[in-house]
Amino acid sequence: MFGYVREYPPELKLKHHVFYRAVYCGVCKSMGQCTGFCSRATLSYDMAFLALVRMALERTPYEVIPQRCVLHPFKKHPILRENAALDYSARVSALLFHGKVTDNIADSHGAKKLFFRAVRPFAEHFRKKAGLEAMGARICERLAALSALEKGACESVDQTAEIFGLLCAEFFAFGLEGKSETIARSLGKHIGRWIYAADALDDFERDVKSGAYNPFAALYGAILSESAKESVAAAMKNELVSAGKALDLIDFEDENIKTLVYHIVFEGMLRKTEELTHKKKSKGELR
């Protein structure tokens, strides 16, 4: 489900690359400190995006310093110094992983089920260390609601995407207040809807082949025509536009964070949309 919210390297300046990586590594380091060494395996770039947004909304002062990490024990790399946003993203990652494992145990069979059962003790351990029980519970609730819809072969992408959107809105906005909370909720909702659609689209062919539920298959049928793919791309872009409107209302203090966040949405996620709907664009073209 995660891994689609990323940068687009060819259009990113090196200094922003370095900063982006520093944030990503920062989340990883936080995970190691907070939820344990193994939890780092659940790391995703989506969490780096979350950290950036939280830093922007909370106006977190930050510092990039050369640090060592387990994967690079000899040479120090620029990593963001520990801060509240990194810590928070690490915890969210653990809770999402736990939610996913619980959900998959309930829904899958055979070897897959065994795998998730085997992984469950790890997930439980991460969850315990992550804390934020209220949010963890909400994540599990939303995932259960989503499961129920999918089991019922829901024919609406909007309904299913909306649940995932609301799930993301929860952890984007958790702990924030007032204006920041409203913006984070809206941003999270649209990012979440986009992620759900991206994941469903990516799994489309595999699901149709195996007969598994896929919201786009339920809506469009077993084949997505070129025209249908274009429509789906437009709907996904619509989510990006809505996310952009939320971003426009953030009072960014830091140019690096602002540039990176906008880049991820309007270059990274936009290109990913086109890639998933098989639209090959030449470099420099936006549509």
Partner 1 sequence: MNSNKNPYSVLGVSENATDEEIKKAYRELAKKYHPDKYAGSDLAELANEKMQEINAAYDEIQKMRASGARPSYGSGYGGSSYGSQNGSYSGAHAADYAYIRSCINDGNYTAADMRLNAIPAGDRGAEWNFLYGVTLIATGRTFDGRAYLERACAMNPGNLEYRAARDRAANVSFDSWGSSPGTQTECTGCSCGDLCTTMLCLNCLCGGCR
Q: How many residues sit in the footprint of partner 1 (CB under 8 A)? A: 43
Question: Among all chains, which residue has been given the structure tokens 């830091």?
Answer: 254
Largest CA distance in the chain: 53
- What mask, x for binding partner 1 by CB under 8 A, covers residues 216 to 255? ---xx----x-xx-xxxxxx-xxxxxx-xxx-xx------
Are the CB atoms for 27 and 45 separated by under 8 Å?
no
Give the span between the Cα atoms of 172 and 169, in whole angstroms: 5
Shortest distance (Å) from residue 66 CB to partner 1: 29
- What mask, x for binding partner 1 by CB under 8 A, covers residues 255 to 284? -------xx-xxx--x-------------x
Applying CB under 8 A, which of residues 53, 57, 132, 161 lies at the interface with partner 1?
A: 161
**Which one, of 158, 191, 232, 159, lies nearest residue 54 by Cα?**
191
Give the span between the Cα atoms of 149 and 159, in whole angstroms: 8
Applying CB under 8 A, which of residues 182, 213, 254, 258 lies at the interface with partner 1?
A: 182
DSSP alpha helix (H) spans, the chain:
14-34, 45-58, 84-107, 110-130, 133-151, 157-173, 178-210, 215-220, 226-248, 255-263, 270-276
Q: Which residues are CB-contacts of 255 (< 8 A; sequence separation ≥ 6)?
A: none
Cα 3 from chain centre? 6
**Which one, of 221, 183, 215, lies nearest residue 196 by Cα?**
215
Shortest distance (Å) from residue 83 CB to partner 1: 24
- Among the listed ranges 84-92, 95-103, 117-125, 175-183, the one in contact with partner 1 (CB under 8 A) is 175-183
Shortest distance (Å) from residue 221 CB to partner 1: 10
Give the span between the Cα atoms of 180 and 203, in whole angstroms: 34
Shortest distance (Å) from residue 3 CB to partner 1: 21
- Among the listed ranges 67-75, 110-118, 142-150, 153-161, the one in contact with partner 1 (CB under 8 A) is 153-161
- Among the listed ranges 57-65, 118-126, 136-144, 156-164, the one in contact with partner 1 (CB under 8 A) is 156-164
**Which one, of 237, 256, 257, lies nearest residue 245 by Cα?**
237
Rank residues 82 and 202 by Cβ distance to partner 1 and give the closer one: 202
The SS3 assignment for 66 reads strand
Determine, following the binding rule CB under 8 A, whether residue 153 of this chain makes contact with partner 1.
no
Shortest distance (Å) from residue 4 CB to partner 1: 16
Rank residues 210 and 227 by Cβ distance to partner 1 and give the closer one: 227
Rank residues 124 and 158 by Cβ distance to partner 1 and give the closer one: 158
| Binding-site ranges for partner 1 (CB under 8 A) | 11, 156-158, 161, 179, 182-183, 185-186, 197, 219-220, 225, 227-228, 230-235, 237-242, 244-246, 248-249, 262-263, 265-267, 270, 284-287
